[in-house]
Amino acid sequence: MKNLTIPEEELMLPGHTACLGCGATLAMRYALKALGKNTIVTIPACCWAVIPGVYPARTLEVPLLYTAFEVTGAAISGIKNALEATGNDDINVLGFAGDGGTADIGIQSLSGAVERGENVFYIMYDNEAYMNTGVQRSSSTPKGAWTTTTQVGKVRDWKKEKKKNMVEIMVAHNIPYAATASIAFPEDLIKKLEKGKNIKGPKFYHIYATCPTGWRISPSKTVEIARLAVESKVFPLYEVDHGVYNITYMPKKNVSVKEYMLPQGRFRHLTEDEIKEIQSEVDKDWNLLLEKEKWTQSLNKVQ
Amino acid sequence: MKKMLTGNYASAYGAKVSKVKVVSAYPITPQTTIVEKIAEFIANGEFDGKYIRVESEHSAMASCIAAENTGVRTFTATSSHGLALMHEMLHWASGARLPIVMSVVNRSLGPPWSIWSDQQDTISQRDTGWMQIYTENNQEVLDSIIMAYRIAENEIVMLPAMVIEDAFILSHTMEPVDIPDQADVDEFLPDYNPKFKLDVSEPMGFGSLIMPEGPFMEFKYKGHESMNNALKIIDETDILFKKKFGRSYGGTVETYKLDNAKYALVMMGSTASTGKEVVDKMRDEGYEVGLLRIRSFRPFPKDKLRNYLSNMKSIGVFDRSYTFGYGGAVFSEVRNTMYGKNIPIKGYIGGLGGRDVTMNLIEKIFLDVVNMSEKGQDKDYEWVGLNGDKRWSQ
C-alpha cells in the first residue's frame, strides 16, 4: 500500500460559507494541513474574508487576523516581527490573499515584505478575477476571459491582455522560494509548503483555485478543470528554489488549450482563431519555462 | 538627564524609554529625524526592539496593527501626506481597539507643495477614532508619548493615540529636555500585556464579518464610550505623571491667566506659547485676557471647556486648519460646546502652510475679541494674515 502523504489533521472545519465547488477552500485546507497548528494566518479583503463565517463563527482552527485589502505583505511582516521580538521565532506566519489582493492592490506591500526578506509564507490563491465582489477583471484574469468588467457585448470587449506572472515578479526580487501549485495536485502543493518550512525568508505560492461561480462551470468540475489547466500547460506546476527552476509535474496527456477552455462559460465567445492564438502563447511560455529550467539547473551545476 | 533635543529627537527618546517592541516607519519631511534617531538607537544596540523599514506609511500603520494584534507595544511616526495615506488603517487601528501610539509632525497638505506647519493633516483625521494630543514644547512631546501609552493601554480606553508636534517650530528646534530615568518610566508604564492577541495556543479570530443585526453597532458604541472614558484617564494620568516626574500639562486642557479673564482665546499646538506672550503683554496694558490651550482634541474636553469659558464676555478660537465653505474645526467644536451660553464666539483661520503666527497677529485677534463683546460680532469666522489684507497684516 502506498503511504499517504497528506496529513490527516483538519485545521479547517466544515460549515464555511463559500460557494459550491469553491477551489479556494481546498487551497486553504491543504495549506493548513501542510503548515500545521503552529501557524498564524492573516487574510485581507477577498473571498476568504467571508468564507470563515459570520462572527462569532469561524471555520479555521488557527489564529486569524483579518486585514484591509492591500496590506497582506505588511500584516505578515508585523506579525512576524512581533513574534521575533518576543522570542517566538518558530511560528509560521501565513498571508492568504486572492489574486486581486496580490497582483493588483496588494503588490506594493508584498514587494516590500519580500525585498526586506521577511521570514513568512505568502499564498496567492488565484481564482483569476475579483470573485468576492462578483467577477470583475484583475491583472490575473487570463487573456480571452469574460468578466463583468470585460464583457463580450457587441464589440467583443473580453480581456485582451495576458495574465500577470507573479512568480516571475517574485523571482525578480531574489526570493528564496517561489512556486506554483494547484488544488488538483494536493501532494505537490503540500510538499512545496513543507519545503518552505526549512527555508528562511519569504516563500511565495501561486495556487490555482477554480471558481465555478465566476468561470461559469458546474461545481462538480472544480478539480477536473484544475487538472486540465496543468495538463494543457496553461498553468504549469513548478518551483523556483533560490533561482533554480524545477518543473514538478510533467503533463502526461496531450491536452489542448481548446479542451481546457471549452467547458468554461467565460471563454465560450472565443473563435477558433482566437483560441489558436492563445494556444501559441501557451506553447511559447511552456517552451520558455523548459529553457529556464534547463539553463538555471546547468548554472547550478557549474557552481 | 537633560539634553538639548529637537521635538523629533524628544519623540524618538519617548519611544525608546517606553520600551516599544516593534517600530514600523516610513520617512517623510519633517518627521524623518525621528526615524533616523530610532535607527541610530538600533544600530548602537540601545533599543531592544524590531524595526521594520516599510515601503509606505500605509504599510507602516498596517504592520503596526498586525504587530500590536500579536501582543506587543508598537510605535510609528509620520506627517501630512503620510498620515493621509494611512487614513484607511487609522480606522482599522481604532476599530480593532489597538493602543498604538504615533508621533505626528503637523505639516500642511498639498497642492501647492508645502512642508511647513499647519494642523490640516491631523484635523482631517478627527473621525478616525484616534486620541489626538497637541503639544506645545519638546519636553511635552517626550512626556506625552510616555503618558499616551499609559492612557491608550488602560483597559477602559484601549484606543490608539497621536502625539502631535508642529513642523520645524518644534520638530527641528532644540530645547533643553529632561529624559526621565528608565527605572522611573518602567514604574510608571508597565509592560503591555493585552487580554486578547494572536496566539497559537489559544486561536482567535480578529475583525471578522458582522451582519447589520449585530454587534457591529455595539462595537462602535463601546469605542465611543471608551473615548469618553479617556477624558478622565488623560487628566488622571497627567496628575500621576506630575507625582512621578514633577511635570504637568493640564491633561486635556491647559489654561493661562484665565481665572480672572473676561476674554479668552482658544488655541492648539505651539502657537499657544506665542499666545501666552501676548496675554502677558496685554495684561500689562490692562486687558483682562486669558488663553485656553486644548491638548486633547479627541476626546474633546467639553465639560472642562464649559467650566472654564462660561464666564467669558467673548471668545476667539484660532484654527491652524480649514474646511472649505465653513469655519475651522476647533471653532465649530468650541461653539457647539458653548451652545446656549449666549457668549459671542468667533473663529480665526491662519498660519496655514507654515505662515508665521506673530505676536502682532494674535494681539489683533485679542483686540477683535475684546471689541466684539461691546460692539457685537461682525462675522462668524474669518481668515487672518492673508497677503494684502491690511486689517489682519502679520
Q: Give the DSSP per-residue string, A230-245.
A: HHTTSS--EEEETTEE
What pLDDT was estimated at residue A1? 55
What pLDDT was estimated at residue B389? 96
Give residue-wise pLDDT tens across range B74-133.
Answer: 999 999 999 999 999 999 999 999 999 999 999 999 999 999 999 999 999 999 999 999
What Å distances lie between residue A101 and A77, A137, B84, B316, CA to CA?
Answer: 16, 12, 21, 49
Give the whole-angstrom CA distance, residue A162 versus residue A141: 8
Name the residue facing A116 among B53, B68, B72 (closest C-beta). B53
Q: C-alpha angle B21/B170/B237, rounded to 5°?
A: 55
CB A38 within 8 A of CB B191: no
Name the residue facing B208 among A37, A66, A115 (closest C-beta). A66
List the grid coordinates of B76.
Answer: 510609528
State how far Cα A248 lies from the chain centre. 15
Name the residue facing A58 among B68, B202, B208 (closest C-beta). B208
pLDDT exceeds 80 at position A3 = no
What pLDDT was estimated at residue B304? 98
Give residue-wise pLDDT tens across range A110-146.
Answer: 999 999 999 999 999 999 999 999 999 999 999 999 9
Interface test with B, best of A77, A88, A108 (most B CBs within 10 A): A77
- What is the SS3 assignment for A100? helix
Q: Which helix (H) or strand (E) holds A73?
A: helix A72-85
State how far Cα A30 lies from the chain centre. 12
CB B70 within 8 A of CB B95: no
Name the residue facing A85 among B72, B203, B207 (closest C-beta). B72
Q: Following CA atoms A179, A181, A186, A187 in sequence, which dihedral angle do they give, to the nearest 10 degrees?
A: -40
Give the whole-angstrom CA distance, residue A14 versus residue B156: 37
Contacts of A62 in chain B (CB under 8 A): 200, 203
Residue contact B58–A86, C-beta within 8 A: no
CB B59 within 8 A of CB A110: no
Summarize the confidence of residues B247-275 as an average pLDDT.
Answer: 97
A vs B, Cβ pairs < 8 A, gives 150
Q: What's the length of chain A?
A: 303
- What is the SS3 assignment for A131? coil
Summarize the confidence of residues B19-24 as an average pLDDT.
Answer: 98
Give residue-wise pLDDT tens across range A65-95.
Answer: 999 999 999 999 999 999 999 999 999 999 9
Domains belonging to chain B, first-starting first, are: 2-245 (3.40.50.970), 253-383 (3.40.50.920)
- Chain B: nearest CA to A74, how far in angstroms? 5
Residue contact A81–B56, C-beta within 8 A: no
Name the residue facing A74 among B62, B70, B211 (closest C-beta). B62
List the grid coordinates of B248.
Answer: 504637568
- The residue written with cell numbers 508636534 in the block is B165
What pLDDT was estimated at residue A146? 98
Give the whole-angstrom CA distance, residue A283 versus residue B292: 74
CB A152 within 8 A of CB A158: yes
How would you write chain B as a 3-class SS string? Answer: CEEEECHHHHHHHHHHHCCCCEEEECCCCCCHHHHHHHHHHHHCCCCCCEEEECCCHHHHHHHHHHHHHCCCCEEEEEEHHHHHHCHHHHHHHHHCCCCCEEEEEECCCCCCCCCCCCCHHHHCCHHHCCEEEECCCHHHHHHHHHHHHHHHCCCCCCCCEEEEEECCCCCCCCEEEECCCHHHHHHHCCCCCCCCCCCCCCCCEECCCCECCEEHHHHHHHHHHHHHHHHHHHHHHHHHHHHHHCCCCCCCEEEECCCCCCEEEEECCCHHHHHHHHHHHHHHCCCCEEEEEECEEECCCHHHHHHHHCCCCEEEEEECCCECCECCHHHHHHHHHCCCCCCCEEEEECCHHHCCCCHHHHHHHHHHHHHHHHHCCCCCEEECCCCCCCCCCC
Residue contact B207–A66, C-beta within 8 A: yes
User: A176: which DSSP letter?
Assistant: S
Give the whole-angstrom CA distance, residue B323 versus residue B330: 11
Contacts of A65 in chain B (CB under 8 A): 66, 69, 198, 205-207
Name the residue facing B71 among A55, A82, A109 (closest C-beta). A82
Residue contact B65–A75, C-beta within 8 A: yes
- The residue written with cell numbers 512581533 in the block is A82
Summarize the confidence of residues A262-266 as an average pLDDT.
Answer: 98
Residue of A nearest to B61 (CA): A74
- Chain B: nearest CA to A243, how far in angstroms? 24
Please state the φ and ψ torsions of residue B11, each to the nearest 5 degrees. Answer: -65, -45
Residue contact A82–B62, C-beta within 8 A: no
Instruction: Place A209 in a pLDDT band, splitting at 50, 70 and 90.
Output: very high
pLDDT exceeds 60 at position A162 = yes
Residue of B nearest to A50 (CA): B209
What pLDDT was estimated at residue A302? 63
* Residue type for position B256: Y
The crossing angle, in degrees rounded to 10, of helices B87-95 and B57-69 is 10
Pairing of strands B296-298, B50-53: unpaired
Name the residue facing A84 among B50, B62, B202 (closest C-beta). B50
Contacts of A55 in chain B (CB under 8 A): 205, 208-210, 215
Whether residue A6 is contained in a domain is answered as no
Residue contact A85–B69, C-beta within 8 A: no
Give residue-wise pLDDT tens across range B173-227.
Answer: 999 999 999 999 999 999 999 999 999 999 999 999 999 998 999 999 999 999 9
What pLDDT was estimated at residue A2? 64
Name the residue facing B52 among A39, A61, A81 (closest C-beta). A81
Whether residue A285 is contained in a domain is answered as yes
What pLDDT was estimated at residue A254? 92
CB B316 within 8 A of CB B348: yes
List the grid coordinates of B256.
Answer: 493661562
Residue of B nearest to A54 (CA): B209
Whether residue A126 is contained in a domain is answered as yes
Residue contact B208–A52, C-beta within 8 A: yes
Whether residue A127 is contained in a domain is answered as yes
Residues near A273 by Cβ (< 8 Å), separated by ≥ 6? none
CB B13 within 8 A of CB B185: no
Residue of B nearest to A83 (CA): B70
pLDDT exceeds 80 at position B262 = yes
Residue contact B58–A37, C-beta within 8 A: no
Contacts of B68 in chain A (CB under 8 A): 78, 82
What pLDDT was estimated at residue B113? 97
Interface test with B, best of A38, A54, A55 (most B CBs within 10 A): A55
Residues near B262 by Cβ (< 8 Å), separated by ≥ 6? B288, B289, B311, B312, B313, B373
CB A71 within 8 A of CB A123: no
pLDDT exceeds 60 at position A303 = no
What pLDDT was estimated at residue A300? 76
What pLDDT was estimated at residue B313? 97
Instruction: Place A5 in a pLDDT band, splitting at 50, 70 and 90.
Output: confident
Pairing of strands B296-298, B131-134: antiparallel
Range of the domain at A201: 23-302
User: A108: which DSSP letter?
Assistant: H
- Chain B: nearest CA to A282, how far in angstroms? 35
Interface test with B, best of A59, A81, A115 (most B CBs within 10 A): A81
Give the whole-angstrom CA distance, residue A159 versus residue A130: 14
Q: For residue A192, give the CATH number of its domain.
A: 3.40.50.970
Name the residue facing A39 among B49, B58, B200 (closest C-beta). B200
Summarize the confidence of residues B357-369 as an average pLDDT.
Answer: 98
pLDDT exceeds 60 at position A34 = yes
What Å distances lie between residue B276 and B280, B291, B379, CA to CA?
Answer: 6, 7, 25
- The residue written with cell numbers 473580453 in the block is A158
What pLDDT was estimated at residue A269? 98
Whether the ω angle into residue A212 lies within 30 degrees of 0, i.e. cis, is no
List the grid coordinates of B342.
Answer: 449666549
Considering chain B, what is the average pLDDT of its residues? 97
Contacts of A53 in chain B (CB under 8 A): 208-209
Residue contact B62–A84, C-beta within 8 A: no
Could you give the percent of chain B with pLDDT greater than 70? Answer: 100
Give the whole-angstrom CA distance, residue B68 versus residue B146: 17
Residues of B contacting chain A (CB within 8 angstroms)? 21-22, 24, 49-50, 52-56, 58-60, 62-72, 74, 88-89, 92, 198-200, 202-211, 215
Residues of A contacting chain B (CB within 8 angstroms)? 37-40, 42, 49-50, 52-56, 58, 60-68, 70-71, 73-79, 81-86, 91, 108-109, 111-112, 115-116
Give residue-wise pLDDT tens across range B288-315.
Answer: 999 999 999 999 999 999 999 999 999 9
Whether residue A198 is contained in a domain is answered as yes
Contacts of A86 in chain B (CB under 8 A): 21, 71-72
Give residue-wise pLDDT tens across range B329-361.
Answer: 999 999 999 999 999 999 999 999 999 999 999
List the grid coordinates of A83.
Answer: 513574534
Give the whole-angstrom CA distance, residue B145 versus residue B182: 14
Count of structural domains within chain A: 1
List the grid coordinates of A234.
Answer: 496553461
Name the residue facing A40 among B53, B89, B198 (closest C-beta). B198
Whether residue A4 is contained in a domain is answered as no
Give the whole-angstrom CA distance, residue A107 versus residue A95: 13
Contacts of B215 in chain A (CB under 8 A): 55
Residue contact B205–A115, C-beta within 8 A: no
Whether residue A214 is contained in a domain is answered as yes
- What is the SS3 assignment for A126? strand
Q: Encode burial over B183-199: b for 16+ CB neighbours within 10 A, e otherwise.
A: eebeebbeebebeebbe
